[in-house]
Structure 1
Amino acid sequence: MPKSKDFPLNRRLKKGEVKAFIESGGAKLHREYTFDFYEKYRNGTEKRDEVYELPNGDFIYVFDPASQSVPGKGNYWQKDAFLRFVSWKKRVDEDYKHGRAASVDHWRHYTRLGNRLIEAGDSLLTVISTELDIPAELDYGYESLALIDNAIINYDLSRAWEVLYDALVFYIGQIIVERISGAWDINVKNYGGDYPYVTIPGTGEYYMPINIVRSELDGVKGSNLRKATSDEIRIHAFKQL
């Protein structure tokens, strides 16, 4: 949806606009979500953002009036988008709490196969097509990633981490393997312990399908596995010039 001065979705609200929503637009403070976004830093400073709910169920996120960057300004959120954002924040907070901030640590927590996903190979395609109800053949092409992106929109994200994680890491990794004439390998020297990655033998390059899956399946925005995969390949191509 395009930005619009009159229709506030997808754009930052000025202080006056925030005030109008609160004073005459019927917005009421949502104490639970306001509490969820409260933060106190190690140096003792506090971030006191506020969340207001509108009569139509949408939300206004108001930045702390004492903040240095955007004091008193806000963002307008549609209900479904905001609830996804709240869910995402809680997952991120939980991951940080348990030391899963890095993609490989996150994958290691949820993986069922570990490095054996490389050996599982094509059997993991069945997991993707069955879980996402994709009738077309998954042929390791970019277009197949677009099919996955479209199918995963309404898929339960918590189930995705539990069931689809290894399958998507393998599928994306295998696409990279075929595009670069590369090979799978297991990390033994970089951070994160042993985890699967793709490389071009003899180059020391690390193509990271785990990073792609973790970043694209955040639950806030729609995934774009196709673009993320092509970007991963293109970035490494520039390094080799």
Structure 2
Amino acid sequence: MTTLSGKTLFITGASRGIGRAIALRAARDGANVAIASKSSVANPKLPGTIHSVAQEVEAAGGRALALKCDIREEDQVRAAAAATVDAFGGIDILVNNASAIWLRGTLDTPMKRFDLMQQVNARGSFLCAQVCLPWLLQAPNPHILTLAPPPSLDPKWWAPHTGYTLAKMGMSFVTLGLAGEFGPQGVAVNALWPRTIIATDALNLIPGVDVARCRKPDIVADAAHAVLVRPSRECNGRFLIDEDVLREAGVTDFDSYAVEPGQPLLPDLFL
């Protein structure tokens, strides 16, 4: 299978950035895309809403469902999944993309921000998986793909921002556990992470990053697509890097993914 035509994807945090790019890549195949995000009203600081992305998905050739959903709220996630099944008849793929970020040290991390990261990142990924799994287990080629880094206990990733690293690695450990539990039942559970920093709105929270030295979200979307079309029983429990996935798929020229081709690229956190 090389296409997501007719498949139903439930994507969290899909109103902008990497989530939006994954939605649009699937839409070009003719997929059904449930856009589950909090942003239902335009924000001048953060472009993109569930409605604007739904329009883009339809224009790209897919079917879209805009779902206002805060993945911290169990009732909202259950309602969003039920609406997806009502609209499209099932769920084939869950993409855990929603994530909260705060790159500060311990003394500069308000507990409100710490709690938000744990609730959205690790707990949110677990909740969305729990809610979608009954349908995934019935799907012919089910996948859970989480935007999370390879697990690491190296203090260099923990010392600068323990709260964020805990939340992000939490997503990685959820992936590890779900892969062990559901891989044998035919659900592929994998994580994907970019080799370089990706030019998204989250960059506004990272001081001093030169956008010219980043890549566009399209590279992660193309890598996600390459993973999601694989047979689910042949690809499970892996911590994949976007560039490696695309090389494996035969891509040799990565210049088109650069914001400014020829610039030295900034490696992402956790790699």
| Common topology (TM > 0.5) | no
**Greater RCO (CA < 8 Å, at least 6 residues apart):** 2
| TM-score (normalizing by structure 1) | 0.29
| TM-score (normalizing by structure 2) | 0.26
Q: Which has the larger radius of gyration?
A: 1
